[in-house]
Amino acid sequence: MTLQQNGAKSVTGDFLIRKVLLTNAVSSGACGLLLLLFPKYVTDWTGLDNRSALIGTGIFLLIVVSFLVWAATRNVVPYRGVLIFSIVDILWVVDSILLLGANGSVVTITVFGIWAIILVAVVVGIFAIFEASYCWRNRLYSK
C-alpha cells in the first residue's frame, strides 16, 4: 500500500498482480484443457494412470481459471482472492512434492512425467510467490 500526494491510499503492485493472475489463468487453462481433452496421452506420457483424477484436475483448473480472470478484471484486485490463490498454489506445489515422493510406491511416473510435474510445480510456485508478496505488501489495505 502506498500513500499518494493527496493522502489517498492505493494498492501496491496492482498492475503486476493482474498480469500474474492472467498468466496463471492462461497456463492453468492450457493444463486443464490438456487434461480434459487428452487424458489418454497424458497417461501415456506421464505414467499417471488414474484418468478420472486427471479429468477431475482438469475441471478444477478450469474453475480456478474463471476465478483468476474474475479477480484480475475487478477495479480493485480482491486481496482475499489473491490470498486464496496463493494458498491453492502453495498446496499444488506441496501435492506435487508428495506425488513425486510416492513414485514407485503408489504410482509409476515416467521420466517425462517427473520433469513435467517439476516444471509445473516451479511455475505454480513462482505464481504463489508473486501472489503472497502482493498480499504481504497490501496486508493493511485488506479491510
Please state, rounded to an integer, the average pLDDT across all residues of the chain: 89
Residue 2's DSSP bridge partners are 10
- Residue 42 lies inside a defined structural domain of this protein: yes
- Least confidently predicted of 42-51, 62-71, 84-93: 42-51
Residue 5: Cβ-neighbour burial (10 angstroms; 0-12, 13-18, 19+): exposed
Please list, in sequence order, all residues whose beta carbon lies within 8 angstroms of the beta carbon of residue 41, skipping any fewer than 6 positions away: none
Q: Is 3 part of a structural domain of the chain?
A: no
pLDDT higher for 79 or 128? 128
How many structural domains is the chain composed of? Answer: 1
Closest CA to 27 of 129, 122, 136: 122
- Judge whether 4 lies within some domain: no
Report whether pLDDT(85) > 90.
yes
Q: Which of 73-77, 103-107, 135-139 has the lowest mean pLDDT?
A: 103-107
C-alpha angle 117-87-18 in degrees, rounded to nearest 5? 90
Residue 105: phi and psi, rounded to 5, are -95, -40
**Structural domain containing residue 113:** 12-141
Residue with cell 512425467: 113
pLDDT bracket for residue 141 (50, 70, 90): low
Q: What percent of the chain has pLDDT over 90?
A: 76
Percent of the chain clearing pLDDT 70 (strictly above):
90
